Amino acid sequence: MSRQQTALITGANKGIGLAVARQLGALGYTVWLGCRDHQRGQAAAADLSGEGLDAHALVLDVTDAHSVQAASARFQQEAGALDVLVNNAGISLGSPVQASQESLDDMRTMFEVNTLGPMRMTQAFLPCLRQAKGARIVMVSSSLGSIAETNDPAGLFWDVGYAGYSASKSALNMLTVKLAKELLAEGIKVNAVNPGYTATDLNGHDGFRSVEEAARVVVELAQANPLGPTGGFFHDGHATQHRHAW
C-alpha cells in the first residue's frame, strides 16, 4: 500500500500559506501547518480538518533554531518522511524609502525571516525530505528580488523601494540555486516562486491577486515530478511555462 504524501508549509495559519495547505490537502496530502502561535495553528488545522482534510498544526518559529529543531524532532517522530516543504513564512517591514534611508534593524529582521528562516527549515528537515522519494522544496520569493527586473529602466520595479525586503528575496533566490545543485543527485527539487502581488497582511491586503490564485502556482511546483524543474525562479501564474530571469 502506498504511503500518503506529506507537506509542511510555514506561515500556514493564514494567507497564502493556509491556501496552499488547503489545496494540497484537497489533493490528498497530509498537511502540516507550521505556525508560531499554537492557538492560531490549531484553529487553522481544525478548520481544514472540518473540511475533511488531514491537517495538523506544528508550532515553530523560523527565526528560532531551537523551535525549528524541536518541530523537526516532533515531525520525524510522528510522520517521518516529508515529500514537500513550502518555505512560505515572510515579512516586510518599513516604508518604501530610499535604500540609504532604510532601517538596518528592519533589514536584519527581514533577512532573519525571509532568507535565513527558509535555510534553517531546509537544513533541519533535510533528514525527513531524504526519507521521501523525489521530495520538493518550494521557496516563496518575489519578483522584487529579481536583479534583472529591478535593473530594467522599462520594468515594473525601476522606481520601487523596499531595498531590504528585495535584498532578502534576492538572497533567498541564490540559496535556492545553491541548494538545487547540491541536492540534484538525491532527486530533491528546489525551486523559488513569485506568487504575484497578493492581498495579504504583508501588504495591507492591497494586492490584486487572491490567496487562492497565488497558492495555485506554489502547489504546481510542490507537485513537480521527478523529471520536473529544479533551481528555477517561476513567475506569477506560469510555474510550468515560464522560467523567469533572476
DSSP 39-60: HHHHHHHHHHHHTT--EEEEE-
Place 244 in a pLDDT band, splitting at 50, 70 and 90: very low
Inside any domain, residue 244? no
CATH code for position 85: 3.40.50.720
* Angstrom distance (rounded) from CA 157 to CA 148: 10
Q: Provide the whole-model pTM.
A: 0.91
Q: Note the pLDDT of residue 68.
A: 98
Which residue did the predictor score with more confidence, 6 or 240? 6
Active-site residue, selected from the candidate residues 165, 181, 189, 197: 165
Q: Is 178 one of the catalytic residues?
A: no
Place 205 in a pLDDT band, splitting at 50, 70 and 90: low
Q: Is 133 one of the catalytic residues?
A: no
Inside any domain, residue 242? no
Inside any domain, residue 246? no
Of 95-109, 181-195, 228-242, the poorest mean pLDDT is in 228-242
Question: What integer best gives the mean pLDDT of the chain?
Answer: 88
Inside any domain, residue 199? yes
* Angstrom distance (rounded) from CA 206 to CA 90: 16
Active-site residue, selected from the candidate residues 29, 162, 169, 189: 169
* Residue 206, Cβ density class (10 Å: 0-12 exposed, 13-18 middle, ≥19 buried): exposed
Inside any domain, residue 154? yes
Domain hosting 183: range is: 6-235
Give pLDDT tens digits for 143-191. Answer: 888 788 887 787 777 678 789 999 999 999 999 999 999 999 999 999 9
Inside any domain, residue 14? yes
Inside any domain, residue 241? no
Q: Note the pLDDT of residue 208.
A: 47
The total number of structural domains in the chain stands at 1
Give pLDDT tens digits for 12-22. Answer: 998 989 999 99
